[in-house]
Chain A
Amino acid sequence: MTAAQMILSSALWLALVVLGLSFLLTVWRVIKGPTLPDRVVALDMLVGIVIGFIALIAIRTGFTLYIDIAISLGLVGFLATVAFARFILAQGRGDETAEKEASKVIPAPPLAPKRKRASSRKPGAGPAVSGKAKK
């Protein structure tokens, strides 16, 4: 192993560890994030970190075709963020406070109260409806 390969290999390992750490921190924000825009911002950041992973794999394996995959992933991430912004505009904020109160009253899964708006039209069963009744 020449000196150049050794430098590159150790830098790649260190960068993979650092990227994995930042990936875990961002995933923690996605899970914990108190509001919906927090989660969307963290998902956007997650796409950026995955692009970094793809670049590191491209250097490791020598396939420069991975750059095209990174570019297309960036395009998909941008479109997803724009769509999420439209979704936040369309959905409003009323569900968010309800979600907080519902999760205080009963330990429901965090995704369940978000469907409250759809499920409030037809009074079916579910943790969101019972949380509203308790309030």
Chain B
Amino acid sequence: MIEVLIALLTALLILVGAGFALVAAVGLTRLPDVYTRMHAASKAGTVGSGLMLLAVALHAGDLSTLARALAGFFFFVLTAPISAHLLAMAAHKMGYPLHEKSVRDELNDYRN
């Protein structure tokens, strides 16, 4: 009984994680410019891979595996905004344009 419950929870985590990855990929394909694509990839993609790591920990049912999976999730959540921010700053500084329907460019005020 408890085995089936753990399998169901693991399957749910796997499927939700894969769904997040698919949403991120669709956003990467459909969104109009670099900055919006970055917004899709760095948030949904990170959550997708992190959920699948948690599914591994739940499936193993081991404390050390859980600790490692949590460390990995924490690491991804920590580094994804940093790399996305660096990329956005670099692209904006080099003058890659926003999509024409964008209404404001607040980073432009801090340009020096």
Residues of A within 8 A of B (CB): 2-5, 7-8, 10-12, 14-15, 18-19, 21-23, 25-26, 28-29, 35, 37-38, 40-42, 44-45, 48-49, 51-52, 55-56, 58-59, 62, 64, 66-68, 70-71, 74-75, 78, 81-82, 84-86, 88-89, 91-93, 96
Majority DSSP secondary structure for residues of B touching A: helix
| C-alpha spacing A48/B24, complex, angstroms | 10
From A8, A26, A78, A88, give the contact of B79 (CB < 8 A): A78
The count of chain B contact residues (Cβ–Cβ below 8 Å) is 57
Question: Within 8 Å CB of B4, what residues of A?
Answer: 3-4, 7
Verify A48–B56 contact, CB threshold 8 A: no
Question: Within 8 Å CB of B86, what residues of A?
Answer: 81-82, 85
Can you list 29 pairs linking A and B with CB atoms under 8 Å apart? Answer: A4-B4, A4-B7, A7-B4, A8-B11, A11-B12, A15-B17, A22-B26, A25-B25, A26-B25, A26-B28, A37-B34, A37-B96, A41-B34, A45-B41, A48-B45, A48-B48, A52-B18, A52-B21, A59-B55, A62-B60, A66-B56, A71-B71, A82-B82, A85-B86, A85-B90, A88-B90, A89-B94, A93-B94, A96-B96
